[in-house]
Amino acid sequence: MSGEVSLTYLTYRYAKALRAVGQSVDATSCAADCSALSSVAVAPSYCSTGVAADAVLSVVKLPSSGRPGVAGTGSSCAHDQNGRPLWLVFALLKPINRLESRSLAENVASLRSVVLHEIIHGLGFSHSFFNYARDSEGRRRHLIALSRVYDADGEE
End-to-end CA distance of the chain: 45
Residues 28-60 as b or e (16 or more Cβ within 10 Å = b): ebbbbbbebbbebebeeebbeeebeeebbebee
Quote the pLDDT of residue 74. 92
Residues 70-81 as b or e (16 or more Cβ within 10 Å = b): ebbbbbbbbbee
Cβ-proximal residues to 110 (8 Å cutoff; 6+ apart), any chain: 102
Quote the pLDDT of residue 11. 56
Per-residue pLDDT of the chain (156 residues; tens, 9 = 90+): 455 677 766 556 677 777 788 877 655 678 888 888 888 888 888 888 888 888 899 999 888 767 778 888 999 888 887 778 889 999 988 877 777 888 889 988 888 999 999 999 999 888 777 777 777 887 888 887 778 888 888 777
Burial classification of residue 65, based on how many CB atoms lie within 10 Å of its CB (0-12 exposed, 13-18 middle, 19 or more buried): middle
DSSP 54: S
Strands 72-79 and 85-92: antiparallel
Amino acid type, 131: N
**Cα–Cα nearest to 71, from 10, 100, 35, 114:** 114
Quote the pLDDT of residue 68. 78
